[in-house]
């Protein structure tokens, strides 16, 4: 059966998800949209970790890497949103192209 | 219908769900639609984790991303948009170079993924009966990955303190 799902299918989904996340990070003006794009990129990386882990004799190492990616994503989201809130408090905008100085 | 065909059908449903909702996240003009569409992306990715024999990771994905990060992002959307103004939409910039860049990255990644002869070992059949991975992950966390586990706990503590400190409101401006 030609359409039988193999490792490549998961990798293709991950590649498209990565490109969409990159596109969001580069084009969107809103800083929160940039954070959402980063989450998409991290999810695509996790799909890759788990796919290689699954198709390599069911090893556990890829799953360990994915756990630490999730931990760092949670920390990144918390700190990133705190920074965005602080920027909004100081500049009254969250558009990344209007924020070009470190202080007011 | 045998279980292999079932696996393929579920995979395609989940892949279409993930990619369509991620497309809505990226291309929607309204940031609230983007935030809610991210919910379906995270659910679809959790389903893909289940297909990849990672049950513990799928539950972790649901708890951390859907329960934590998505709520944080929604708080961010609500707190940083002026409700009275109509500027809840978020514009885009540099569309043409960004499109070229994203298409080039996608092409390179897809060609690498498709034309590399990946070394896969073990049974290549789609459906295998495996036990739950939680005991293996727990054992690895206290043996081979113990240092990373401790460092991750310190990182989370630092992130909590840092986020609370950064987002704290000042009392008054003198």
| Mean pLDDT over the full length of chain A | 87
Alpha-helical (H) ranges within A1-60 are 7-27, 31-54
Residues in A closer than 8 angstroms to B47, CB to CB, are none
Q: How far is CA A57 from the centre of its chain?
A: 27
Question: B57–A79: do the CB atoms touch at under 8 Å?
Answer: no
Q: Rounded to whole angstroms, how far apart are CA atoms A1 and B49?
A: 23
Question: A97–B137: do the CB atoms touch at under 8 Å?
Answer: no
Question: B42–A43: do the CB atoms touch at under 8 Å?
Answer: yes
- In this prediction, residue B123 has a pLDDT band, given cuts at 50, 70 and 90, of low
Which of B33, B64, B36, B59 has its CA nearest to residue B46? B59
Question: Which of A28, A35, A60 lies nearest to residue B92, judging by beta carbons?
Answer: A28
* Tokens read off for A11: 């990798």
Question: A71–B156: do the CB atoms touch at under 8 Å?
Answer: yes
- In this prediction, residue A29 has a pLDDT band, given cuts at 50, 70 and 90, of confident
Percent residues over pLDDT 70 in chain A: 93
**DSSP 8-state code for residue B66:** I
Which of B59, B47, B43, B49 has its CA nearest to residue B134? B59
Residue B122 pLDDT > 70, yes or no?
A: no
Worst-scoring range by mean pLDDT, A34-48, A73-87, B30-44, B128-142? B128-142
Please state the φ and ψ torsions of residue A28, each to the nearest 5 degrees: -75, 145
Residue B151 pLDDT > 70, yes or no?
A: yes
Residue A51 pLDDT > 60, yes or no?
A: yes
Please state the φ and ψ torsions of residue B172, each to the nearest 5 degrees: -145, 150
> Rounded to the nearest 10 degrees, what angle do helices B146-167 and B134-142 cross at?
90
Residue A1 pLDDT > 60, yes or no?
A: no
Pick among B24, B113, B131, B142 to test the A interface (most A CBs inside 10 A): B113
Please report, in angstroms and rounded to a whole number, the separation of the first and last CA atoms in chain A.
Answer: 62
Question: Which of B15, B61, B122 lies nearest to residue A70, judging by beta carbons?
Answer: B61
**DSSP 8-state code for residue B144:** T
């Amino acid at each position: 059966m030609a359409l039988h799902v193999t490792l490549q299918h998961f990798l293709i989904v991950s590649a498209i998800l990565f490109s969409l996340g990159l596109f969001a990070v580069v084009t969107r003006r809103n800083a929160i949209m940039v954070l959402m794009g980063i989450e998409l990129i991290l999810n695509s990386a996790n799909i890759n970790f788990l796919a290689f882990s699954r198709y390599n004799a069911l090893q556990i190492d890829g799953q360990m890497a994915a756990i630490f990616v999730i931990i760092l994503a949670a920390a990144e989201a918390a700190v990133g949103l705190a920074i965005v809130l602080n920027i909004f408090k100081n500049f009254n905008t969250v558009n990344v192209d209007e924020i070009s100085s470190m202080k007011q | 219908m045998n279980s292999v065909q079932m696996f393929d059908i579920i995979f395609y449903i989940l892949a279409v769900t993930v990619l369509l909702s991620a497309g809505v996240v990226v291309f929607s003009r309204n940031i609230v639609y983007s935030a809610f569409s991210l919910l379906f992306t995270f659910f679809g990715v959790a389903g893909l984790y289940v297909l990849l024999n990672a049950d513990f990771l799928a539950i972790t994905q649901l708890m951390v991303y859907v329960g934590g990060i998505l709520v944080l992002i929604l708080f961010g959307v609500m707190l940083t948009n002026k409700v009275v103004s109509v500027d809840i939409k978020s514009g885009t910039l540099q569309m043409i170079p960004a499109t070229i860049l994203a298409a080039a990255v996608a092409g390179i990644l897809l060609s690498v993924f498709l034309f590399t002869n990946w070394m896969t070992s073990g049974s290549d059949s789609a459906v295998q009966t495996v036990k739950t991975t939680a005991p293996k992950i727990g054992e690895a966390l206290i043996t081979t990955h113990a240092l990373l586990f401790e460092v991750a706990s310190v990182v989370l503590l630092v992130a909590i303190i840092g986020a609370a400190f950064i987002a704290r409101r000042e009392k008054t401006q003198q």
